[in-house]
């Protein structure tokens, strides 16, 4: 582990400014080192600014160096800071409608990138880089709550840095005086904007999260809305001059996320004719939801792929009962866009025609620090060159697509796992003294990103899978039982059993896959049917048409030529349609992702094994410790009425490999890269 002291750049330091001016070209070259320029011919949709404008980030997870192997997301955090600065000036000095700009972040600043994950505490450097952004409203995500040292760093450094702008309504922190306090400056913020003097009342909420460390606690929204202090707070500020209520936090804005609607119902009782604007996160998707006639919600993706934009005009002194969301005929005028994280988009939306006019000294300073930290952490240390793109959802796992990342992990990566002991503990370790077959199971939620063609370096290890789990094993499981575990866990996106102990299998997926599946299933349902619980082949075909098929009536030949000129990227469908992405892309295909994948070694004849009356073939079932409850549940289902067999399996669980630093997925990928791609 590498720890580096890092400070926020002092832009009042004249000597520092002079040095940056003198080294402008040098910094720019370093900023673009090993990254791809965006396509400056990309078709873009313009932003429509208004009286009140928002830029929103969420779930950045430490990606402040940008995506070096993806040109459409190749900007770094310095570019973003230059964009914010330029855009703020453009909005405030607009001759037509001078506007305000509020910058919002809704949490999850690390876990997923070497810049954040190679320091102790996690996020020490990346958070300092992040803090150069002048957020007006900011809060925590669940990834700030897992580890006590990370929570302490967030509370001790980030909260005081942002002061009154850092709020949390339902998250508390146990401070060094052993007192439970708000994880932020306050539970709310009431303030006035600089240009138009709009009065803003703001609250921030975390979803009902139970996985935090001993120094944090989250009060569920269902409980908070019933508490006396919260009701009194709403009563007090509903009697004040409030032009807009802004609710931001680490929970999705999707219609199936019921917590938000519980909150909205409580708010609407006190603010019946006030615009309530939501900004969400956690599920990693681009989304825009119309909640009621005076309320919408924006969610702005993940991993520094997206900057969310929203503008509002004519939103004060409203009355309920009007079609206020319609920007043609209604009262409220709004625009929403999902901005691709690259300098082409950033320059276009700030009316800059050259990098020299776009870059700011503040932005260049941050890019300079990013370069330095990248070198110090050896993030560009190369282990090989990835020969092709490997995709999670854009390749057909079911039909063995050679570009499937999941098939690649099954066939080439998981098979490298070895039994090994690194820690002395009370749990018995595995003794490899049999000739059993072996399956190794992981949940696909542990795989967080695609693997792109190009350099595989130290940073790449954390991009694909940042988690460091230990490996458990149920040794000598009868083959006919072992071979049912994966199919049971992949039987549906949601639980199929009425068994009260059945887990929610969707939790085996990543937040992005869960949310994407939910949205697509909603789009596939008929007006009178409930959404299906899993994808069949017919629905997949229909889904391809929704995502890839024509959206405008035009000649097929001209459409094909136009599509061929487009690059791959997001094509978002939300409550306002399909024109939200600022960059016009052709979408990658989408194939449903299973809940779990598994490698299989020393193959046996599955059919013969399952048909044999005697259980003569045995399999060692190896899996991440994180998914042990799911493995046990599936094993119980497979054992049917043979409870002795199930109890024996539970009693035999032991460590297979507890060397989480040496045998995590990132390290296994590194070993493969060195052996095969270097």
For the ranges 285-294, 513-522, 569-578, the lowest mean pLDDT is seen at 513-522
What span, in angstroms and rounded, lies between the C-alpha atoms of 47 and 439? 51
Superfamily holding 52-376: Metallo-dependent phosphatases (3.60.21.10)
- Tell me: pLDDT of 500 over 70: no
Question: How far is Cα 187 from Cα 201, in angstroms, rounded to an integer?
Answer: 11
CA distance 62 to 124: 10
Bridge-based pairing of strands 471-478 and 618-624 is antiparallel
Higher pLDDT, 124 or 566: 124
User: Would the pLDDT of 369 be above 90?
Assistant: yes
pLDDT at 408 over 70: yes
Say which residue the tokens 């993706």 belong to: 301
Neighbours of 33 (CB within 10 A): 12
User: Among the CATH numbers 2.60.40.3080, 3.90.780.10, 2.30.42.10, 3.30.230.20, which is that of 382-509+593-676?
Assistant: 3.90.780.10
Question: What is the model's pLDDT at position 496?
Answer: 44
pLDDT of amino acid 492: 60
What proportion of the chain, given as a percentage, has pLDDT over 90?
75
Query: pLDDT digits over 640-653, tens only?
Result: 989 999 999 999 99
274-325 confidence digits (pLDDT tens): 999 999 999 999 999 999 999 999 999 999 999 999 999 999 865 444 344 4
Across the range 380-386, mean pLDDT stands at 97
DSSP-derived secondary structure for 641-668: T-HHHHHHHHHT-EEEE--TTTSSHHHH
Q: Grade residue 627 by pLDDT with cuts at 50, 70 and 90.
A: very high
Q: Are strands 244-250 and 275-280 parallel, antiparallel or unpaired?
A: parallel
In this prediction, residue 553 has a pLDDT band, given cuts at 50, 70 and 90, of very low
Do 303 and 65 meet the contact criterion of CB atoms below 8 Å apart? no
In terms of Cβ atoms closer than 10 Å to its own Cβ (0-12, 13-18, 19+), residue 347 is buried
Q: Which pLDDT score, from 0 to 100, does residue 423 have?
A: 86
Mean pLDDT value of segment 257-268: 97
More confident residue, 32 or 616: 616
Shortest CA distance to 144 belongs to which of 282, 284, 287, 347? 282
The DSSP bridge pattern shows strands 437-443 and 586-587 to be unpaired
284/570 Cα distance (integer angstroms): 13
Please determine, for residue 558, whether its predicted confidence score (pLDDT) is greater than 50: no
Do residues 309 and 348 lie in contact, with contact meaning Cβ atoms separated by under 8 Å?
Answer: no
Average pLDDT over residues 389-405: 96
Determine contact, residues 143/110, Cβ cutoff 8 Å: yes
pLDDT of residue 604: 53
Contact call for residues 279 and 308 (beta carbons, < 8 A): yes
Q: What is the pLDDT of residue 5?
A: 31
Who has greater pLDDT, 333 or 164? 164
DSSP state of 195: T
CA angle 536, 538, 542 (to 5 degrees): 115
Closest CA to 582 of 53, 37, 48, 32: 48
Integer Cα distance of 158 and 127 in angstroms: 8
564 φ, ψ (degrees, to nearest 5): -65, -30
- Output the six-digit token pair for 358: 């776009």
The one-character DSSP state at 571 is -
Flag whether pLDDT at 270 surpasses 70: yes
What pLDDT shows up at residue 361? 97
pLDDT tens, residue by residue, 338-367:
999 999 999 999 999 999 999 999 999 999
CA distance 416 to 438: 12
**Residue 121: cis peptide before it, omega within 30 degrees of 0:** yes
Distance of alpha carbon 530 from alpha carbon 495, whole angstroms: 16
From 12, 6, 4, 33, select the one nearest 380 (Cα to Cα).
33
Label residue 148 exposed, middle or buried (CB < 10 Å: 0-12, 13-18, 19+): middle
Altogether, the residues listed in the chain come to a count of: 678
Q: What mean pLDDT do residues 53-78 have?
A: 96
60: closest CA among 48, 49, 82, 76? 76
The residue extents of the domains of the chain are: 52-376, 382-509+593-676, 512-587
- If one counts every other C-beta atom within 10 angstroms of the C-beta of residue 646, the result is 18
**Residue 517: pLDDT band with limits 50, 70, 90:** confident
pLDDT tens by residue, 589-607: 989 899 999 999 985 554 4
Please indicate whether residue 27 or residue 34 has the higher confidence score (pLDDT).
34
Q: Which residue has the higher pLDDT, 565 or 479?
A: 479
Query: 10 Å Cβ neighbour count for 528?
Result: 5
Q: How far apart are CA 594 and CA 518, in angstroms?
A: 14
pLDDT value, residue 40 = 86
Q: Do domains 52-376 and 382-509+593-676 have the same CATH topology?
A: no
Other beta carbons within 10 angstroms of residue 270's beta carbon come to: 17
Q: What is the mean pLDDT of the chain?
A: 87
What pLDDT does residue 563 have? 52
Please give the pLDDT value at position 29. 40
The model's pTM is: 0.88
pLDDT in tens, 412-448: 999 999 999 998 776 677 887 788 999 999 999 999 9
Q: What is the pLDDT of residue 225?
A: 98
Report the distance separating Cα 516 and Cα 214, nearest Å. 32
CA distance 555 to 565: 16
């Amino acid at each position: 582990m590498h720890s580096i002291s890092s400070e926020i750049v002092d832009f009042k330091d004249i000597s520092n400014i002079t040095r940056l001016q003198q080294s402008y070209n040098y910094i720019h070259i370093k900023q673009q080192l090993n990254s791809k320029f965006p396509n400056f011919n990309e078709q873009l949709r313009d932003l429509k600014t208004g009286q009140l404008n928002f830029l929103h980030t969420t779930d950045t997870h430490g990606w402040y160096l940008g995506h070096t192997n993806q040109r459409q997301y190749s900007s770094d955090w310095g570019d973003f800071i230059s964009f914010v600065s330029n855009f703020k000036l453009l909005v405030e000095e607009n001759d037509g409608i001078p506007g305000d700009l509020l910058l919002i972040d809704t949490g999850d600043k690390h876990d997923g990138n070497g810049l954040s994950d190679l320091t102790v505490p996690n996020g020490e450097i990346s958070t300092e880089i992040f803090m150069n952004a002048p957020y007006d409203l900011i809060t925590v995500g669940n990834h700030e709550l897992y580890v006590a040292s990370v929570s302490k760093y967030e509370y001790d450094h980030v909260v005081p840095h942002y002061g009154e702008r850092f709020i949390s309504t339902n998250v508390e922190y146990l401070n060094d005086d052993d007192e439970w306090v708000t994880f932020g400056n306050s539970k709310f913020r009431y303030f006035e904007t600089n240009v138009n003097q709009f009065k803003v009342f703001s609250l921030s909420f975390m979803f009902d999260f139970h996985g935090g460390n001993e120094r944090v606690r989250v009060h569920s929204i269902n409980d908070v809305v019933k508490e006396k202090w919260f009701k009194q707070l709403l009563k007090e500020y509903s009697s004040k001059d409030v032009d807009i209520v802004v609710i931001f936090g680490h929970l999705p804005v999707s219609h199936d996320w019921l917590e938000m609607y519980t909150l909205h119902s409580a708010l609407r009782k006190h603010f019946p004719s006030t615009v309530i604007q939501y900004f969400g996160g956690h599920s990693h998707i681009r989304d825009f939801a119309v909640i009621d006639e005076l309320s919408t919600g924006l969610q702005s993706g993940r991993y520094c792929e997206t900057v969310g934009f929203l503008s509002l005009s004519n939103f004060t002194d409203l009355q309920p009962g009007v079609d206020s969301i319609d920007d043609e005929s209604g009262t409220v005028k709004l625009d929403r866009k999902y901005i691709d994280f690259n300098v082409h988009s950033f320059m276009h939306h700030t009316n800059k025609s050259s990098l020299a006019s776009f870059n700011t000294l503040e932005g260049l300073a941050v890019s300079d620090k990013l370069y330095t930290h990248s070198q110090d952490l050896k993030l560009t240390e190369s282990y090989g060159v990835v020969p092709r793109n490997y995709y999670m959802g854009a390749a057909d796992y079911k039909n063995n697509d050679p570009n499937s990342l999941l098939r690649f992990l099954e066939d080439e990566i998981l098979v490298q796992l070895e039994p090994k002991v690194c820690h002395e503990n009370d749990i018995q370790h595995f003794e490899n003294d049999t000739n059993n077959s072996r399956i190794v199971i992981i949940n696909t939620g542990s795989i967080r990103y695609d693997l792109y063609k190009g350099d595989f370096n130290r940073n790449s290890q954390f991009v694909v899978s940042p988690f460091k789990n230990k490996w458990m094993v149920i040794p000598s499981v009868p083959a006919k039982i072992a071979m049912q575990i994966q199919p049971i866990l992949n039987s549906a996106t949601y639980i199929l059993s009425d068994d009260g102990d059945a887990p929610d299998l969707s939790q085996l997926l990543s937040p992005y896959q869960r949310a994407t599946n939910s949205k697509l299933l909603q789009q596939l349902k008929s007006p009178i049917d409930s959404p299906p619980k899993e994808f069949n082949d017919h629905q997949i075909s229909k889904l391809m048409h929704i995502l890839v098929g024509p959206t405008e009536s035009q000649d097929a030949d001209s459409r094909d030529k136009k599509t061929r000129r487009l690059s791959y990227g997001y094509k978002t469908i939300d409550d306002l349609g399909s024109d939200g992405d600022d960059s016009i892309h052709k979408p990658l295909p989408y194939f449903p992702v299973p809940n779990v994948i598994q490698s299989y070694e020393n193959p046996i004849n599955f059919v013969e094994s399952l048909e044999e009356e005697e259980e003569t073939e045995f399999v060692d079932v190896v899996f991440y410790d994180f998914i042990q409850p799911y493995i046990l549940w599936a094993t119980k289902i497979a054992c049917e009425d043979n409870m002795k067999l199930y109890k024996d399996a539970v009693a035999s669980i032991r460590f297979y490999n507890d060397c989480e630093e040496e045998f995590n997925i990132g390290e296994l990928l590194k070993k493969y890269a060195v052996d095969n791609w270097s």
